[in-house]
Amino acid sequence: MKWKRKKLHFGGLHLREYVKRIQAIDCVTILPVTEAIWMEGILLDWDHADSADRVIVATARLHSVPILTKDQVIFSYYDRTVW
């Protein structure tokens, strides 16, 4: 995982503390990964093996929301990507 390989940085915060702070923001909702999301991720017509990216895109599609990311792989696949 990117966090374990130190490829994700949270301003010096531990991941748990970072998520706790995100959860405290009123306009942000962290959605659970449901069976429907997992299935959507598996069924995506996308030649991309990263399961985390697939879950992110599937979640956005099922909830009809944009994705805020600079990840070019997601950006090139999902048309509601913002950065």
| The model's pTM | 0.82
CB atoms within 10 A of CB 12: 7
pLDDT in tens, 46-80: 999 999 999 999 999 999 999 999 999 999 999 99
Q: Which DSSP string do the residues of 27-70 spell out, in sequence order?
A: T--PPP--HHHHHHHHH-------HHHHHHHHHHHHHT--EE--
Mean pLDDT of the chain: 92
Domain boundaries defined on the chain: 1-28, 31-82
Contact 61, 40 (CB under 8 A): yes
Which DSSP category does 81 fall into? E
Rounded Cα gap, residues 75 and 68, in angstroms: 9
